[in-house]
Amino acid sequence: MRVLVTGGAGFIGSEYVRLLLGRPLGAAAGVPALEPATVTVLDKLTYSGNPANLDPVRHDPRLRFVRGDICDPELVDQVVADHDVIVHFAAESHVDRSITGAAPFVTTNVLGTQTLLDAALRHGTGRFVHVSTDEVYGSIDEGSWTEDRPLAPSSPYSASKAGSDLLALAYHRTHGMDVVVTRGSNTYGPYQFPEKVIPLFVTNLLDGGTVPLYGDGGNVRDWLHVHDHCRGIALVQRDGRAGEVYHIAGGTELTNRELTGRLLEACDAGWDRVVPVADRKGHDRRYSLDTTRIREELGYAPSIDLDHGLAETVRWYRENRAWWEPLKADPAG
């Protein structure tokens, strides 16, 4: 099996590559044996892509790295040609950036996905795994979304992801392509660019600085370790039903205020380091995924509980300043 991973130098994509090549962050036990013959990473290396994320597998002879844009039809056509499976992570991924400038989100997330789907269709690629997010559903005050819930995205980021999900599913319905879609919840762990809340707060606190807490801090998110997110995607890649959507979640919901409390404790800091800031525009109050389908059909269960995962993540940022200090100094890349 020859696997193409788009966005494989990013946070989640790089864990997927490490997992495919037998060097994941978490225990490999319980991970489906996909045993790829080759893994190609196609990544533009935007500000959030970092070749250092692939250091643990850099010398694996099965790995090939192509620097390039998923919106470039000629390049994508060439790269897709020799692959049996595409696992598509590449995206503009930060909600706050989409609020100040939506254009790259529409270009990469919608046009880039369509460019890949067209190439996969031309070359008869065996399976297309489209990696998406719980944010496509909007906000839910109580209960949880099932996979058939209509999409109602709130931000330009989530709207562009919803557009790409619908395109991927349309290629299944129109052309009979073997497409599966995953929608994961808020993901955390090592190698996450320090603009997202957990690495931003942890690195600010480790540097003796303050952390900005949006609004009343009451927004609720489910937290999923990056290793568990990738285990879920691997199960879907191997056993998911074509044309279906699968939810992947960690199982622990926290308000941002509760999360902040845990991070302060882990970094030996007090509430005096928290600065309340005006709420994010269009800020979704709560996300919550029903994970019955992936649990019952594919046997998925998260393996890393939040307390342990957060402690290990804080430890990783403490011990890997050389990874994140240059990114904080020049966040535009």
Q: Which run of H or E residues covers position 150?
A: none
| Location of structure tokens 């319905």 | 173
Q: Which of 157, 171, 188, 300 is catalytic?
A: 157
> In terms of Cα–Cα distance, which of 7, 84, 22 is closest to 59?
22
- Strands (DSSP E) contained in the chain are 2-6, 38-43, 63-67, 85-88, 127-133, 179-184, 186-188, 211-214, 220-225, 245-248, 252-255, 274-277
Applying CB under 6 A, does 284 fall inside the site for ligand NAD?
no
The least distance separating ligand NAD from the CB of residue 66, rounded to whole angstroms, comes to 9
Residue 318 corresponds to which amino acid?
Answer: R
23 within 8 A of 40, measured Cβ to Cβ: no
The least distance separating ligand NAD from the CB of residue 9, rounded to whole angstroms, comes to 4
Residue from 21, 36, 93, 154 binding ligand NAD (CB under 6 A): 93
Residue from 5, 18, 19, 44 binding ligand NAD (CB under 6 A): 44
Residue 12 corresponds to which amino acid?
Answer: I
Applying CB under 6 A, does 9 fall inside the site for ligand NAD?
yes
> In terms of Cα–Cα distance, which of 272, 230, 29 is closest to 131?
230
134 labelled catalytic: yes
Residue 21 corresponds to which amino acid?
Answer: L
Q: Which run of H or E residues covers position 282?
A: none
> What is the pattern of x (binds ligand NAD, CB under 6 A) and - over residues 203-222?
--------------------
The least distance separating ligand NAD from the CB of residue 193, rounded to whole angstroms, comes to 5
Which residue lies nearer to ligand NAD by CB, 17 or 269?
Answer: 17
Which residue lies nearer to ligand NAD by CB, 187 or 260?
Answer: 187
Applying CB under 6 A, does 12 fall inside the site for ligand NAD?
yes
| Residue showing the smallest CB distance to ligand NAD in the complex | 10
Residue 129 corresponds to which amino acid?
Answer: V
Q: Which of residues 58-87 bind ligand NAD (CB under 6 A)?
A: 69-71
Q: And the tokens for 319? A: 């011990």
DSSP 3-state of 217: coil
Applying CB under 6 A, does 43 fall inside the site for ligand NAD?
yes
Q: Which of 15, 92, 135, 222 is catalytic?
A: 135
Dihedral sign (CA 180, 32, 120, 70):
positive
Q: Which of residues 172-201 bind ligand NAD (CB under 6 A)?
A: 184, 186-187, 193
Q: Which of 15, 134, 178, 253 is catalytic?
A: 134
Residue from 40, 108, 154, 203 binding ligand NAD (CB under 6 A): 108
Applying CB under 6 A, does 161 fall inside the site for ligand NAD?
yes
Applying CB under 6 A, does 112 fall inside the site for ligand NAD?
yes
- Helix intervals (H) in 188-245: 197-206, 226-239
157 within 8 A of 91, measured Cβ to Cβ: no
74 labelled catalytic: no
Strand partners, 4: 40, 86
Residue from 4, 39, 79, 90 binding ligand NAD (CB under 6 A): 90
304 within 8 A of 28, measured Cβ to Cβ: no
214 labelled catalytic: no
Q: Can you give the binding site for ligand NAD, defined by CB under 6 A?
A: 6-7, 9-13, 43-46, 48-49, 69-71, 89-93, 108, 112, 131, 133, 161, 184, 186-187, 193
Catalytic center residues = 134-135, 157
